[in-house]
């Protein structure tokens, strides 16, 4: 870390006080005058056609202003970029819980009550909702099979091999803040207060769907109460709020209930993953096949890339990555934290552990023996790869040498104790982003305003951008104001796919360099020591100055393979009588380039780790095959880990200076924190009990 630099130091969250005092404004916190309230009502079949909708009784309820269905909704562009359909454009039903109408009233309670009085009749069709019955009919996805060498021939002749099926269930995102929108029209322009992970993406999708110009849509989203991918691509509720507001000529508030979230804003789909691994007697991998069978919507495809980790983690001369899909009457899946890598790493890293045990090798040694010198999937050199350091430093810090290789032998009272390890990766990328910096001098004080259409999911974007600008301009943090979350600001990448920090911070850093250079040119002087922008504003007596930077990834970055890597270590205690599993200790060791703020970064990693523990032990959305609806419809049914479920959490960041992906060397940590976690827990459970559980979640009934 450079002397006196703020980046790289554990600065407290800039927006922390706003949040703990309740002053941070989320989607429905805006005091809009004359606001009406909308409530969605949904289909009660999974497949078929609406034959009749009777809104007579609903319209009689005091306070009801309108009932909007496909019979009176305006024509929208269904290919405008919103996900999941359900835009009230016709009578066809494609999944249980599809939006079929909106009641708008003076109060939320009036709208909800009236929605229950709308009478709907259907012509019901046979629904495709049972994955187990349908998977034999899976068809090739749009993703071509990736083949290298001859997996089958090598597998059949190998000294050591495994061929197993690993399954991960449907999961839901469940951000603390459910999806919600306030829509306000002023003439032909609409402002949408909405939680959006991609501000400009939400703007263009809303505009295209509403058939209006993009500049006529404004997205306001300064704070987001979590998203985990569900607020990346926007869903029908965003535009339906605008439709309702237009039809009644008043602002409209539309918020989804927790139960409505289950079939309104996507999910992580069920994945069956067949893994075949082959190795010689010395532990060198010879073949790897990762074949995923999953489901998509009945008329649209989304496939989670479960094979991504298998493409790059280990040196293997023969490989196969393939995907098969089943169109089903379920809402289309979408990106969910660590998409593909979190689910795929469970299968891959569990299989690696299984084969290591079969070889009688330590699972860390087995991984080290198959470390690739370059990216196996494309032959590109690594921009940097410190997975070996992650494993070695983690083993030392965790006390891996205390682990017994023989399962089921470490006991304490009624508990079986086990250690597990698993690795993970996620791509490191910078996406095009712009930033404006405004400098204002008042007497001997200079203030900076940073403007960018970035998003903060609660990850610390405000803080790291304030640190970056303060360093780049030569100002204290107290004299830097960061303004984000508004599509009227310069366009920026989304807070998705671990591109946010790299894209936002590099744009701000380059804007700082640019404004300093412009002030130097304006001064017409030569300096022995390069002054800061703040010093130039004072020395030259400039009252106000601003610039804009449109930043892109460095030339030549695509010639390298750039990734973050991690090693995860879990200690589990399994109760022999009840089968209950507790993760007593968890250590994540991460190599993710420059860490802008260790405090917020640690929170990110721990958050991902906890999600991965939930994925391993508790989280599952279950469909009733008779109807196609979810049996798990609230946080009482869908179990996310609470404080008492989590033991000691430790994080270590490996020092890494990699400026190939971007000038600041930022690789991103939002996704990688969950990758490999579930496998580490599952491998620890095997070490504790001798039972290999390949279907998540690992609930007590599977261990007793």
DSSP state of 661: S
Give dist(CA 704, CA 694) in Å, integer: 15
Is residue 2's pLDDT more than 80?
A: no
Q: How far from chain centre, in Å, is Cα 153?
A: 38
pLDDT grade, residue 548 (50/70/90)?
very high
The answer to whether 179 touches 229, Cβ cutoff 8 Å, is no
643-656 tens-digit pLDDT = 999 999 999 999 99
DSSP 127-179: ----HHHHGGG-EE-SSPPEEES-HHHHHHH-SEEEEEEEEE--B----SS--
Place of tokens 């999953």: 294
Report pLDDT for 266.
98
The answer to whether 503 touches 455, Cβ cutoff 8 Å, is no
Return all residues near 586 (Cβ < 8 A) that are at least 6 apart: 568, 569, 570, 571, 609, 613, 646, 647, 648, 649, 650, 677, 680
Is residue 449's pLDDT more than 70?
A: yes
Largest Cα–Cα distance in the chain?
81
Q: Quick check: helix, strand or coil at residue 660?
A: coil
Give dist(CA 428, CA 660) in Å, integer: 10
Which residues are catalytic, by number?
671
Going 628 to 634 to 636 to 638, the CA torsion angle's sign is positive
9-28 tens-digit pLDDT = 999 999 999 999 999 999 99
Question: How many residues can be counted in the chain?
Answer: 704
Report pLDDT for 626.
93
Return all residues near 319 (Cβ < 8 A) that are at least 6 apart: 146, 147, 148, 149, 151, 287, 288, 289, 290, 310, 311, 376
Pairing of strands 146-148, 318-328: antiparallel
Task: Over range 450-462, report the average pLDDT.
Answer: 97
Give dist(CA 57, CA 49) in Å, integer: 22
Of the listed ranges 310-314, 476-480, 524-528, 602-606, the one predicted with least confidence? 524-528
Q: Which domains does the chain have, with CATH numbers?
A: 16-24+430-552 (3.30.365.10), 36-126+176-226+231-261 (3.30.365.10), 344-429+559-702 (3.30.365.10)
Degrees, nearest 5: CA angle 241-246-247 = 100
Q: What is the pTM of this model?
A: 0.97
384-404 tens-digit pLDDT = 999 999 999 999 999 999 999
Task: Over range 280-285, report the average pLDDT.
Answer: 98
Residue 185: name the closest of 250, 237, 238, 105 by CA.
Answer: 250
476-530 tens-digit pLDDT = 999 999 999 999 999 999 999 999 999 999 999 999 999 999 999 999 999 999 9
Instruction: Output the six-digit token pair for 418.
Output: 């086990």
Q: Quick check: helix, strand or coil at residue 98?
A: coil
Instruction: Output the six-digit token pair for 271.
Output: 């994945």
Return all residues near 323 (Cβ < 8 A) that are at least 6 apart: 140, 141, 143, 145, 291, 292, 293, 294, 303, 306, 307
Is residue 4's pLDDT more than 80?
A: no
Return all residues near 409 (Cβ < 8 A) that are at least 6 apart: none
Work out the mean pLDDT of the chain and round it to a whole number.
Answer: 97
Give dist(CA 110, CA 475) in Å, integer: 52
Going 535 to 541 to 544 to 545, the CA torsion angle's sign is negative
Task: Over range 167-193, report the average pLDDT.
Answer: 98
Is residue 3's pLDDT more than 90?
A: no
Is residue 187's pLDDT more than 60?
A: yes
Place of tokens 């620890």: 684
Report pLDDT for 672.
98
Report pLDDT for 1.
40
The answer to whether 280 touches 158, Cβ cutoff 8 Å, is yes
The answer to whether 171 touches 620, Cβ cutoff 8 Å, is yes
32-86 tens-digit pLDDT = 999 999 999 999 999 999 999 999 999 999 999 999 999 999 999 999 999 999 9
Return all residues near 670 (Cβ < 8 A) that are at least 6 apart: 337, 459, 495, 498, 500, 501, 604, 608
37-49 tens-digit pLDDT = 999 999 999 999 9
Place of tokens 């040694």: 365
pLDDT grade, residue 457 (50/70/90)?
very high
The answer to whether 234 touches 85, Cβ cutoff 8 Å, is no
Give dist(CA 590, CA 595) in Å, integer: 10
């Amino acid at each position: 870390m450079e002397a006196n630099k703020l980046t790289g130091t554990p600065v407290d969250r800039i927006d922390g006080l706003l949040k703990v005092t309740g002053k941070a404004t989320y989607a429905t916190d805006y005091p809009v005058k004359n606001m009406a309230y909308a409530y969605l009502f949904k289909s009660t079949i999974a497949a078929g056609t609406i034959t009749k909708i009777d809104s007579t009784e609903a319209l009689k309820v005091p306070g009801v202003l309108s009932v909007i269905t496909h019979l009176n909704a305006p024509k929208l562009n269904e290919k405008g970029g919103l996900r999941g359909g359900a835009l009230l454009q016709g009578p066809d039903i494609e999944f249980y819980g599809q939006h079929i109408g909106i009641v708008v009233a003076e109060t939320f309670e009036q709208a909800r009550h009236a929605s229950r009085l709308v009478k709907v009749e259907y012509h019901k069709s046979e629904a495709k909702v049972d994955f187990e019955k349908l998977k034999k009919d899976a068809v090739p996805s749009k993703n071509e099979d990736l083949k290298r060498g001859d997996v089958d021939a090598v597998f059949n002749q190998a000294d050591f091999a495994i061929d197993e099926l690993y399954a991960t269930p449907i999961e839901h995102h469940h951000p603390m803040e459910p999806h919600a929108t306030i829509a306000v029209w002023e003439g032909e322009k609409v402002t949408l207060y909405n939680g959006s992970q991609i501000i400009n993406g939400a703007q263009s999708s809303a505009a295209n769907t509403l058939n209006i110009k993009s500049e006529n849509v404004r997205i306001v989203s300064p704070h987001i109460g979590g998203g985990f991918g569900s607020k990346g691509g926007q869903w029908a509720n965003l535009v339906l709020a605008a439709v309702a507001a237009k039809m009644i000529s008043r602002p409209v508030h539309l918020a989804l209930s927790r139960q409505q979230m289950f079939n309104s804003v996507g999910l992580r789909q069920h994945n069956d993953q067949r893994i075949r691994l082959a190795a010689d007697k010395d532990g060198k991998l010879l073949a790897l096949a990762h074949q995923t069978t999953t489901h998509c919507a009945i008329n649209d495809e989304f496939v989670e890339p479960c094979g991504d980790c298998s493409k790059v983690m280990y040196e293997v001369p023969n490989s196969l990555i393939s995907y098969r899909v089943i169109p089903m009457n379920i809402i289309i899946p979408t990106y969910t934290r660590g998409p593909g890598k979190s689910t795929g790493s469970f299968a891959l890293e569990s299989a690696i552990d299984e084969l290591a045990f079969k070889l009688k090798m330590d699972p860390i040694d087995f991984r080290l023996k198959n470390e690739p010198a370059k990216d196996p999937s494309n032959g590109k050199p690594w921009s940097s790869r410190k997975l070996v350091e992650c494993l070695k430093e983690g083993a030392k810090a965790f006390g891996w040498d205390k682990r017994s290789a023989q399962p089921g032998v470490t006991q304490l009272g009624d508990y079986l104790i086990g250690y597990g390890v698993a690795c993970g990766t996620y791509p490191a990328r910078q996406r095009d982003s712009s930033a404006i910096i405004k400098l204002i001098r008042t007497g001997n004080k200079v203030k900076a305003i940073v403007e960018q259409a970035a998003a903060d999911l609660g990850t610390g974007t405000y803080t790291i951008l304030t640190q970056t600008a303060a360093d780049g301009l030569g100002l204290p943090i107290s004299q830097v104001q960061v303004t984000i979350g508004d599509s009227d600001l310069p366009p920026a990448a989304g807070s998705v796919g671990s591109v946010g920090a790299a894209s936002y911070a590099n744009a701000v850093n380059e804007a700082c360099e640019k404004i300093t250079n412009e002030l130097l040119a304006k001064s017409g002087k030569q300096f022995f020591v390069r002054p800061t922008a703040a010093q130039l504003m004072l020395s030259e007596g400039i009252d106000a100055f601003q610039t804009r930077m449109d930043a892109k990834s460095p030339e030549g970055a695509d010639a390298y393979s750039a990734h973050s890597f991690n090693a995860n270590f879990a200690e589990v205690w399994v109760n022999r009588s009840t089968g209950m599993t507790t993760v007593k200790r968890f250590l994540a060791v991460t190599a993710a380039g420059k860490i802008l703020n260790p405090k917020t970064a640690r929170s990110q990693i721990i958050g991902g780790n906890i999600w991965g523990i939930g994925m391993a032990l508790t989280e599952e959305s279950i469909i009733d095959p008779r109807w196609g609806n979810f049996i798990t419809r609230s946080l009482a049914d869908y179990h996310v880990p609470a404080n008492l479920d989590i033991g000691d959490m430790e994080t270590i960041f490996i020092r890494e200076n990699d400026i190939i992906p971007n000038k600041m060397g930022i690789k991103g940590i939002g996704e990688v924190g969950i990758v490999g976690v579930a496998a580490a827990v599952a491998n620890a459970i095997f070490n504790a009990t001798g039972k290999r559980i390949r279907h998540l979640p690992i609930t007590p009934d599977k261990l007793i």
